[in-house]
Amino acid sequence: MTDDIAVVRHPRARRTRLSFDPVSGQARLTLPPRASLAKALAWARAQEAWIDHQRDRLPAARPFVPGATIPVDGKMLTIAWHADALRTPAVEGDRLVLGGLLESVPHRVERWLRRQALALLEQDTAFYAARAGVSVSGVTIGDARGRWGSCAHHGAIRYSWRLVLAPPAVRRATAAHEVAHRVHMNHAPVFHALVAELYGRDPRPERAWLRANGAALHWYGRSPG
């Protein structure tokens, strides 16, 4: 990384390319193996206006602090901290209530969200696996930046816990997609046909939602600056 631009030499790159990652908020300069770094950086610096424009378009950071609102399984919950409340978050109407140390609120809210995500995605996966007539060896969650789910050849499926922040239909469409990989480990037309069959309709609107709004989900739990 050079200053605020990440530099990557890619063995198959044929030209210098500048891109911007809305998840990390980082500009990325990709170079062919033998390209001049000095010339590439000089060119990238000349694109400062474009980089600034991309930064201005970044989603707002949404830290898990008292008073913040978060979408959980299609419902908006307001984080409510009370010194005499239980440490473990609990839903009370449209509030997520918790006590304990104030400085540990963000960490405990994220842990609660991860538990909710795992429980929901286990249910979704079991539903579509039964519909497809396949087995799934295990369901886990992580926080990958580049994908919302992955299915291993041995039958385990891993999801981003941030799907709990997405509309339920988006989360379920993702589960149907990954379960379909238990039958077809590719993205051929027959695979997409199976996803639609499992999900009950064409899931392209949900995939489009993730493309348009997915980056913003990664800014939940971040502090500004």
β-bridge mates for residue 158, sequence order:
140, 150
Q: Could you tell me the pLDDT band of residue 126, with boundaries at 50, 70 and 90?
A: very high
The Cα-based distances of 28 to 9, 47, 66, 185, 187 in angstroms read 11, 12, 35, 30, 28
Kindly tell me if the per-residue pLDDT of 225 is higher than 90. no
Task: Flag whether pLDDT at 212 surpasses 80.
Answer: yes
The per-residue pLDDT for 4 is 82
> pLDDT tens for residues 78-122?
999 999 999 999 999 999 999 999 999 999 999 999 999 999 999
**Residue 44 near residue 8, CB atoms below 8 Å:** no
In this structure, are residues 109 and 79 in contact, taking their beta carbons and an 8 Å threshold?
yes
pLDDT-based confidence at 74, cuts 50/70/90?
Answer: very high
Banded pLDDT at 3 (limits 50, 70, 90): low
Distances (CA, A) of 12 to 9, 157, 225: 9, 30, 35
Q: Which has more pLDDT, 212 or 145?
A: 212
Cβ atoms 32, 16 nearer than 8 A = yes
**pLDDT tens for residues 26-65?**
999 999 999 999 999 999 999 999 999 999 999 999 999 9
pLDDT higher than threshold 60 for residue 200: yes
pLDDT digits (tens, 9 = 90+) for 152-191: 999 999 999 999 999 999 999 999 999 999 999 999 999 9
The structural domains of the chain, ordered by start, are 5-56 (no CATH), 106-218 (3.30.2010.10)
